Amino acid sequence: MTSTLDETPKVYGLLAEFGTADELVHATQSAAAKGFSRMDGYSPYPVGEVADALGFPRSEIGAIMFIGGLCGATFGFVMQYYLNGIDYPLNVGGKPMFSWPQFAPITWELLVLTASLSGVIGLFALCGLPQPNHPLFNVPQFARATRDRFFLCVEATDPQFDLTTTRDFLDTLKPLSVAEVPE
């Protein structure tokens, strides 16, 4: 959305509506083949092939959760040993200061906790959520993206974007409708 200020009217992109997931997959693949890069698909449930066609084959969530979990587990284990073994040595039942079998449960729980929370925070941060308003919500049909329709939006920031030619191209994909999305 880095268009120049004097460009009017401001357009977010063109939104094509499809009736089935397969058509959306096909449309996304065609648009990608045509060279469009700034676009996104919208569907009521995940359609993995659309993300593949958009050139997003693998998400970052796995790496984030792995690192988060590793940090949590390390912190948990070191914390227990430091607090009960070094900072305030506690002798309970004659157990050694370094009682690793008894430090395992909390280490595990903190691993799960930090991995999960970093995954959730990571998801929202990467997706830019919460974002209660979005240009797409200006299009009445788009309410059906959570119901039974599948949408492809070619964004105005795409280098190839042109209201007329892009629209003509979208029409060749035989959508149910094509709408201009106001910014």
Site for other proteins in 86-145 (CB under 8 A): 87-88, 90, 92-95, 99, 101-106, 108-110, 112-113, 115-117, 119-120, 122-124, 126-127, 129-134, 136-145
Please give the C-alpha separations between residue 7 and each of 45, 156, 180, in angstroms, as whole numbers.
35, 12, 15
- Residue 80 binding other proteins, by CB under 8 A: yes
- Could you tell me the smallest distance in angstroms from the CB atom of residue 24 to other proteins? 9
- Could you tell me the smallest distance in angstroms from the CB atom of residue 81 to other proteins? 9
- Residue 8 binding other proteins, by CB under 8 A: no
- Could you tell me the smallest distance in angstroms from the CB atom of residue 28 to other proteins? 8
Q: Residue 160 or residue 180: which is nearer to other proteins going by CB?
A: 180
Burial 1-36, CB ≥16 within 10 A → b, else e? eeeeeeeeeebbbbbbbbeebebbbbbbebbeeeeb
Q: Are strands 150-155 and 11-18 parallel, antiparallel or unpaired?
A: antiparallel
The only residue of 13, 36, 73, 84 in contact with other proteins, by rule CB under 8 A:
84
Alpha helical stretches, state H, 82-127: 100-127
- Residue 67 binding other proteins, by CB under 8 A: no
Q: What one-character DSSP code corresponds to residue 5? A: T
Query: Which residues lie across from 181 on neighbouring strands?
Result: 13
- Residue 165 binding other proteins, by CB under 8 A: no
